[in-house]
Structure 1
């Protein structure tokens, strides 16, 4: 809707980048606030956040290149020139989680316990990121005659002067609601004294986010994001992450089952 929030001469403040920055700040503040209340060292949480963001950012770009233009992998110079353009959220989630686990191990934290604390912040950051998508015009929806359709007039990415399904707004609202549910769920587990089974909240995030993403993909209109048959690349990734999320969510049951079989 507004690619640049402010233009002063050659200085341009991009709406997408601004919303990403706001999302990161809000997510970090919530993460450290909740972590400090539970006895975690704030400096360690800062390191975990920064390195996870870097890992997520790089993997998000890498997955975009693999899906959109694999030939770029042979042209590092062109990658650098277009580095600020094109990212895939799932790449960021996967890469961020890998680095997150490594950083937690470094500080001798349980990745599942810290993950249960962090995923709500991740969802909030994604919510702000989708607002950035709306401002930039990326991740746009299909054409529609519905009353909820939105029309771009000066987008460099989305089709202009035609009503589109507001997939960015829907995704943003879903992410914010998901964050609230995850915050409530962790508090519920802690109050019921069942927080000793880490991974429940992390698993819930992986399952719920992937289900939401799988559904919203049917309403997306940016066809260049990659398809395998009738399903988009992100939908196939969603299926894999749902399966992985179910495993994480049921780790306590899996461990009990293995213990009984061992006996």
Structure 2
């Protein structure tokens, strides 16, 4: 049997660098590189993307933590010293996304940038960052699903190192991290393949497509996970939010189709103001 992978990538004296952080950083760097290229092509300018990332990252981390704490408040109200103890785990991707969108909207308002276009540029790159980031959960042996069997996992034709990493607490687990990672990867490839087709997407429809794709997949993956946040017994927060986001995004696409909205491929210039 292959031993579980070491979550520590490097030790420098008393400093431990976790694979989780390394993998997340790689996903962010790839996302920034892709977004800057597309921003230049759409007339936004790569400096705005870099500035947005520098502003959004810390608030995304805060948002991810606050979201988690809010839905685990009975515990944190009794242990307030643990609220900032993010190193003990407890962040939520939906909280990070909500905080990032707020930062994007404020920045675009201040800089007189078309927010829908900027979000369109960022959306597919966020998808690939999420896809990569789930492998950080894999290294930490977290975000897994219910108990399963070795036969089932081998039936998925997974590499042996993935199968053995899913042996957690003496039992094999559903690799829900992998399901979500692959779902996001497929969505990324699809959107990147079609987003430059003229007459296909109006401004805002790429980010709304991302919202629908991600929330649809997350609804089902969340139902398999064992670490969900709950509003009440049987009602998972992420599943409820996924339904709300999917319906809202679909409604916006339909509504905006009948409005005088510029096409994504039209890009942006100061003459548009």
TM-score bin (small chain):
0.7 to 0.9
Among 88, 92, 99, the alignment partner of 2:92 is: 88
Residue 218, structure 1, aligned to residue 223, structure 2: yes
Query: CA–CA distance in 2 between the matches of 1:66 and 1:244?
Result: 23
Among 180, 204, 213, the alignment partner of 2:189 is: 180
Partner of 2:263: none
Residue 101, structure 1, aligned to residue 84, structure 2: no
- The Cα shift of 1:79 comes to 2.3
- The Cα shift of 1:73 comes to 5.8
Deviation digits for residues 197-232 of structure 1, max 9, x if unmatched?
A: 211111111111000000111221225x33534231
Query: CA–CA distance in 2 between the matches of 1:231 and 1:79?
Result: 24
Residue 17, structure 1, aligned to residue 26, structure 2: no
Q: Quick check: 2:63–2:96 contact (8 Å CA) kept in 1?
A: yes
Query: CA–CA distance in 2 between the matches of 1:244 and 1:96?
Result: 18
Residue 140, structure 1, aligned to residue 149, structure 2: no
TM-score of the superposed pair, with normalisation by structure 2: 0.82
* The 10-residue stretch of structure 1 (242-251 or 105-114) with the greater mean CA deviation from structure 2: 242-251
Residue 255, structure 1, aligned to residue 259, structure 2: yes
- The Cα shift of 1:76 comes to 5.6
- Structure 2: gaps spanning 5 or more residues: 261-273
Deviation digits for residues 25-74 of structure 1, max 9, x if unmatched?
A: 11001100111122222212211122122222111100111112355368
Partner of 2:122: 118
Deviation digits for residues 147-186 of structure 1, max 9, x if unmatched?
A: 3483448xxxx83231111111111111121111121232
The DSSP-based 3-state class of the residue aligned with 1:187 is coil
- The runs of at least 4 consecutive aligned structure 1 residues that moved more than 6 Å come to none
TM-score of the superposed pair, with normalisation by structure 1: 0.85
RMSD: 2.3
